[in-house]
């Protein structure tokens, strides 16, 4: 009897200790607000799903508006030095760290956000891209191909001549330069002010930043020549991930990769479509689709830029070949 009571007491202590154990808390750095499209599409679905299923085991807390680090370019380093365990990263801001992501930014290579996200996710899953040895990749995303939004009339390629247009990456800069414009590298947070004060004439952005960063207040001409999307990622410190219990790791992986990509695409696409409907219905705006001749001229420029990039190294050439092969397969099964 005494042995039975003793055994019950031990079991009770174990159960109490287990129930009292605090979940492992993980810090996620996000440089903008909880109202931004990037958060709603790339971060919130993952955090909500993991926190719900892993309740009591792990808990992810999101720190908004750069609380853990103001500079968007420093987000990958926040993960490596332990300031954050997970971070939302715009990889184009740290181009040398993630050099292979240039293939995702290639002008004209992808016709839509869904194409680029699907290919990016597959490349990451196949370990085909360098620069991620110290990270566990939660999600690999891409914006819609960026289009031209301006304060002054831009309704054709000819109107681009001499115009100062904000760009996001070297591929876009090369494309606009060949099309006669003057590319200007500028953070998305500074676009609205720059268009307003006339230091630039327009900007290459996808639809959502028009709302998220107030660009549509100063840009009323929308020339929908899609050039390239911006790669976005949610990255976790690999050592931190490896130290987690196996069940916690499994839950994180369950809501990463293709699962995360699917939620991003659905959420992002719904927001973008809503914004485009609003732009087209506003009589004070001009939304212009490029003519077939403009598209032909632009596509010739885009192809030349891709081929030039591929010629610079065997790795570039192999990456471009891999992506083109993947796109051919995807498009043939639609």
Q: What is the residue-level pLDDT of the chain in tens, covering all 334 positions?
A: 444 444 444 434 333 343 447 999 999 999 999 999 999 999 999 999 999 999 999 999 999 999 999 998 999 999 999 999 999 999 988 888 999 999 999 999 999 999 999 999 999 999 999 999 999 999 999 999 999 999 999 999 999 999 999 998 999 999 999 999 999 999 898 999 999 999 999 999 999 999 999 999 999 999 999 999 999 999 999 999 999 999 999 999 999 999 999 999 999 999 999 999 999 999 999 999 999 999 999 999 999 999 999 999 999 999 999 999 999 999 998 7
Torsion of CA 25, 27, 33, 36, to 10 degrees: -90
DSSP run (H or E) holding 78: helix 75-80
DSSP run (H or E) holding 205: strand 202-205
pTM exceeding the 0.85 threshold for the entire prediction: yes
**Terminal Cα-to-Cα distance of the chain (whole angstroms):** 71
How would CATH label the architecture of 23-144+230-272? 3-Layer(aba) Sandwich (3.40)
**CA 277 to CA 146: how far, in whole Å?**
17
**CA 192 to CA 70: how far, in whole Å?**
19
**CA 159 to CA 304: how far, in whole Å?**
22
**CA 185 to CA 199: how far, in whole Å?**
12
**CA 76 to CA 94: how far, in whole Å?**
8
Dihedrals phi, psi of 75, to nearest 5 degrees: -60, -40
Nearest of 66, 105, 116, 118 to residue 87 by alpha carbon = 66
**CA 248 to CA 183: how far, in whole Å?**
45
pLDDT of residue 187: 87
Domain boundaries, the chain: 23-144+230-272, 147-228+284-332
Strands (E), 7-50: 24-29
Domain 147-228+284-332: CATH superfamily is Bacterial extracellular solute-binding protein, family 7 (3.40.190.170)
Give the chain's count of helices (H) and strands (E): 13, 11
Within 8 A by CB and 6+ apart from 206, the residues are 113, 143, 144, 145, 146, 147, 229, 230, 272
Q: Which residue has the tokens 């020549």?
A: 225
Torsion of CA 300, 157, 212, 267, to 10 degrees: -40
pLDDT of residue 21: 74
**23-144+230-272 and 147-228+284-332 share one fold:** yes
pLDDT of residue 8: 43
């Amino acid at each position: 009897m005494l042995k039975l009571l003793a055994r019950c007491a031990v079991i009770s202590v174990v159960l109490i200790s287990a129930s009292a154990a605090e979940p492992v808390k993980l810090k996620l750095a996000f440089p903008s607000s909880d109202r931004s499209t990037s958060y709603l599409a790339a971060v919130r679905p993952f955090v909500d799903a993991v926190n719900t299923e892993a309740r009591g085991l792990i808990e992810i807390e999101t720190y908004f508006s750069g609380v853990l680090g103001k500079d968007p370019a420093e987000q990958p380093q926040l993960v490596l030095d332990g300031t954050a365990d997970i971070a939302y990263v715009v990889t184009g801001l740290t181009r040398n760290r993630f050099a292979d992501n240039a293939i995702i930014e290639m002008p004209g290579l992808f016709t839509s956000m869904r194409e680029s996200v699907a290919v990016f996710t597959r490349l990451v899953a196949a370990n085909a891209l360098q620069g991620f040895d110290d990270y566990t990749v939660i999600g690999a995303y891409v914006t819609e191909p960026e289009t031209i939004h301006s304060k002054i009339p831009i309704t054709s390629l000819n109107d681009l001549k001499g115009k100062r247009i904000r760009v996001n990456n070297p591929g876009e800069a090369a494309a606009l330069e060949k099309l006669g414009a003057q590319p200007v590298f500028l953070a998305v947070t500074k676009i609205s002010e720059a268009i307003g004060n006339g230091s630039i004439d327009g900007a290459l952005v996808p639809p959502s930043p028009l709302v998220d960063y107030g660009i549509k207040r100063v840009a009323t001409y929308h020339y929908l020549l899609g050039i390239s999307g911006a790669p976005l990622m949610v990255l976790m410190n690999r050592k931190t991930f490896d130290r987690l219990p196996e069940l916690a790791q499994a839950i994180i992986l369950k809501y990463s990769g293709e699962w995360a990509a699917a939620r991003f695409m659905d959420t992002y696409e719904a927001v973008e479509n809503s914004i485009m409907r609003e732009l087209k219905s506003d009589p004070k705006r001009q939304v212009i689709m490029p003519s077939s001749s403009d598209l032909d001229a632009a596509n010739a420029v885009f192809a030349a830029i891709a081929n030039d990039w591929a010629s610079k190294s065997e790795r570039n050439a192999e990456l471009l070949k891999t992506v083109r092969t993947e796109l051919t397969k995807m498009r043939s099964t639609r």
